[in-house]
Homo-oligomer: A and B are copies of this chain.
């Protein structure tokens, strides 16, 4: 059986496990006050060129989204997201449970176009009844998006200036950011992202860690006493160093980039093969997730030998599936998949 269903079906990159083993008997203070966390923060600050950035390690993506959004919004504000945005659709109402509305825009290939955002915000303030409605206080985007697509530098800049115009924070969910950074098509470095957002996170769970995401407040927008808010939401690990060691490792010797590169190399090999064989792509993703419209009959056969993800029904005779590579995908597996397709 070949596994292309997702990028979180294995454990961690071996280097991370090695470091957990190596450091296992160290005595360190709890709750992220240890040297590994300090080190990991320093490396991330160096990488983005922001020596004063706030950096926090959180166990998972939904938790991170909930913490960031609920602590930065005022009670009368909601967060704007694409309809396909993870917070809008697949987090079981986590944002609403924290008290805030998710205001959705249709999106284009998973992205929010700056002009659509501008229209939305301008219309809001033009409506005579806007004080009876939820104020847009933040814009949530994902890089790469839920459809595997990428924001360009100019698109991100355009979003940021709409955010500035209407007093909204810009927040980037980077659950798979490592895969975006590794794409030849990508023109947004970590440094750029730190300049062009108010807050973002660098995903670990889907990019080689056992679990964990690094939230970064590059500028001055970090909520006061964010540590206590993390505790209050039940998101503070006693052995915080477990997260610190993982990010320390991911940001040593270029590991985060290597992990991304392997997944992108195998994904583009598969993508080229798909296109050559005439498969239809549902979105044109340059990242580690490929969305393919596949004939139901062919899909049934493929699934006997390959684990893929069902996305949605396309029409009566075909289905949108996802093929996903990761740090753990070997070139051999990619080649074998191409043979089967």
CA distance A241 to B9 in the complex (A): 9
* Chain B residue at minimum C-beta to C-beta distance from A6: B30
Residues of B within 8 Å of A6, CB to CB, are: 30
A135 at the interface (CB under 8 A from B): yes
Stretch at the interface among A19-27, A48-56, A113-121, A143-151: A19-27
Query: How many copies of the polypeptide does the oligomer hold?
Result: 4
Does A239 contact B11, Cβ atoms closer than 8 Å?
yes
Residues of B within 8 Å of A237, CB to CB, are: 59-60, 205, 211
Residues of B within 8 Å of A310, CB to CB, are: 128
Residues of B within 8 Å of A70, CB to CB, are: 75
Stretch at the interface among A85-93, A253-261, A268-276, A284-292: A85-93
* Chain B residue at minimum C-beta to C-beta distance from A26: B10
Does B234 contact A233, Cβ atoms closer than 8 Å?
yes
Interface size class of A (residues with CB under 8 A): 35 or more
Please judge, given known A-B contacts A70-B75, A97-B232, whether A227 and B131 are in contact too, CB under 8 Å.
yes
Does A231 contact B10, Cβ atoms closer than 8 Å?
no
A322 at the interface (CB under 8 A from B): no
A105 at the interface (CB under 8 A from B): no
Residues of B within 8 Å of A129, CB to CB, are: 90
User: Which of B17, B66, B205, B233 interacts with A238 by CB under 8 Å?
Assistant: B205
CA distance A236 to B91 in the complex (A): 10
CA distance A89 to B90 in the complex (A): 22
A251 at the interface (CB under 8 A from B): no
Which residue among A20, A71, A328 has the maximum number of chain B CB atoms within 10 Å of its CB? A20
Residues of B within 8 Å of A242, CB to CB, are: 11, 210-211
CA distance A66 to B63 in the complex (A): 14
CA distance A238 to B210 in the complex (A): 9
A155-185 CB mask vs B (1 if < 8 Å, else 0) is: 0000000000000000000000000000000
